[in-house]
Amino acid sequence: MDQQAVRDRTGLGVRALARRLLGRVETHAPAPRRSNPDAVIDCAVYVNGRREPGRPHYADALARARRGRDTFVWLGLHDPGPAVLAAVGRTFGLDELTVEQALADGHRPTVQRHGTVTLLVLRTAGYVEHDELTDTSEVIDTGDVMVLLGDRFAITVRHGAAGALRTVRADIERRPELLATGPWAVAYAVCARMVDSYLEVAGHVERDLERVEESVFARERSADIQHIYQLKREVVEFKRAVLPLQAPLRTLLDPGTDGPPRALHRWFVDVDGRLSRAVDRVAAYDDLLTSIVQSRLAQLAVEQNNDMRKIASWAAIAATQTAIAGVYGMNFSHMPELGWRYGYAGALTLMAVAALGLYRLFRRSGWL
């Protein structure tokens, strides 16, 4: 074999060896990390109630949760689009109806069972700060949050600006003994936060009611009926968010339903007790506003009656002057005092005396 052939075979061997080495490097190179969509607020895997480091893609997090024991994933979404929610539904095995319900907002609080997935719908509420109450003031901002619970996952889908869940996640992560019970711990944390927000909003609304009540019954009344109607509308919207939650929450506490584990039962009972207080306060505010509206309407009726009395009094005074002037303006030939030198002055004096007498009479009777 000549030297050229040896060099060719050596070159081929070197190139083959380089290709094998490059192939190994490409085989063992880490796959590019997938990033979550913008609608994903947070995604975490919890093992025995403790969060694992990082923020993985929700598909990778679910795969990790299915491989381990006492492990689940919590995916938080805010105003997701149809494409994002459809992809999440395919990954977590959600049916089409569940995805459609999670995509839309404005649902009433409810608990539904879709196969192995439990859907819990709650309304969010937040107080909107304002300097003064007007007929267009937004007092309470409402939205909704949906909690989808499976064997190894909890998905929270929030619509609207109110009811952010970052603090909920931070608080429950400081209580690993609760998170160790599984995805239902997320449902408890969300329910507890929503009920707490109801009580907070109720406290702010109570102060608004006190100011309205003071203005309605003050000596110098300044409350506009339209302002009271606006607050009434806001309280009714708040009432629609709070009151319907009682039935679904008590359904979860029914021993015959597939609800939270026994370890979380007493925590849901505590949430139900606080919700009852919020319901009582909101119902009382609604009744109080109804009474304030009726009182203000009665005041307006009295004010209108007083105005009508004043108008009638001045009309009577004016009618007297018209009657006297009309009689002496007939210009009959044989009319008393028609040729009297002081007839004109006498007519004016009679008109003035009649007007003054009627004014004093109406003033004494309270019409003026």
Q: Which residues of 223-245 are buried (b: 16+ CB within 10 A; e: fewer)?
A: beeebbebbbebbebbbebbbbb
133 and 266 in a single domain? The answer is yes
pLDDT for res 38: 80
Closest CA to 10 of 22, 1, 24, 23: 1
Token duo for residue 286:
């609604």
58 and 121 in a single domain? The answer is yes
Q: Give me the mean pLDDT over the 120-129 stretch.
A: 89
Q: What percent of the chain has pLDDT over 70?
A: 85
Examine residue 168 and state whether it is found in any structural domain, yes or no.
yes
pLDDT for res 23: 47
Q: Which of 300, 322, 349 is the last residue of a domain?
A: 300
230 and 86 in a single domain? The answer is yes
pLDDT for res 48: 92
Examine residue 280 and state whether it is found in any structural domain, yes or no.
yes
94 and 123 in a single domain? The answer is yes
104 and 243 in a single domain? The answer is yes
pLDDT for res 290: 85
Token duo for residue 262:
């026994």
Examine residue 14 and state whether it is found in any structural domain, yes or no.
no
Q: Does the pLDDT value for residue 6 go beyond 70?
A: no
54 and 138 in a single domain? The answer is yes
Range of the domain at 133: 40-209+222-300
190 and 176 in a single domain? The answer is yes
- Which one has a higher pLDDT value, 105 or 333? 105
pLDDT tens sequence across 253-270: 887 677 888 889 999 999
Q: Does the pLDDT value for residue 190 go beyond 90?
A: yes
pLDDT for res 258: 75
Examine residue 100 and state whether it is found in any structural domain, yes or no.
yes
pLDDT for res 333: 66
User: For 154-158, 159-163, 239-243, which range has the lowest pLDDT when averaged over its residues?
Assistant: 159-163
pLDDT for res 175: 93
Q: Give me the mean pLDDT over the 237-266 stretch.
A: 86
pLDDT tens sequence across 216-226: 777 666 567 77
pLDDT for res 199: 94
Q: Does the pLDDT value for residue 108 go beyond 70?
A: yes
326 and 345 in a single domain? The answer is yes
pLDDT for res 147: 94
pLDDT for res 33: 59
CATH of the domain at 257: 3.30.460.20
Residue type, 367: W
Q: Are the beta carbons of 310 and 367 closer than 8 angstroms?
A: yes
pLDDT tens sequence across 13-22: 445 444 554 4
Q: Give me the mean pLDDT over the 181-205 stretch.
A: 93
187 and 232 in a single domain? The answer is yes
273 and 341 in a single domain? The answer is no
Examine residue 132 and state whether it is found in any structural domain, yes or no.
yes
295 and 344 in a single domain? The answer is no
Rounded to whole angstroms, the Cα distance separating 10 from 4 reads 10
Rounded to whole angstroms, the Cα distance separating 296 from 288 reads 12
Average predicted confidence (pLDDT) for the chain? 82
Q: Does the pLDDT value for residue 10 go beyond 50?
A: no
pLDDT for res 46: 95
Q: Give me the mean pLDDT over the 62-66 stretch.
A: 92
Rounded to whole angstroms, the Cα distance separating 49 from 177 reads 6
Q: Which of 274, 300, 326 is the last residue of a domain?
A: 300
Q: Give me the mean pLDDT over the 57-86 stretch.
A: 91
The number of distinct structural domains making up the chain is: 2
Examine residue 11 and state whether it is found in any structural domain, yes or no.
no
pLDDT for res 336: 65
Examine residue 324 and state whether it is found in any structural domain, yes or no.
yes
**Cα distance from N-terminal residue to C-terminal residue, the chain:** 135
68 and 53 in a single domain? The answer is yes
Examine residue 344 and state whether it is found in any structural domain, yes or no.
yes
pLDDT for res 17: 44
Closest CA to 288 of 216, 181, 186: 216
CATH of the domain at 356: 1.20.58
Rounded to whole angstroms, the Cα distance separating 162 from 145 reads 9
User: Which of 10-24, 130-144, 156-170 is predicted most confidently?
Assistant: 156-170
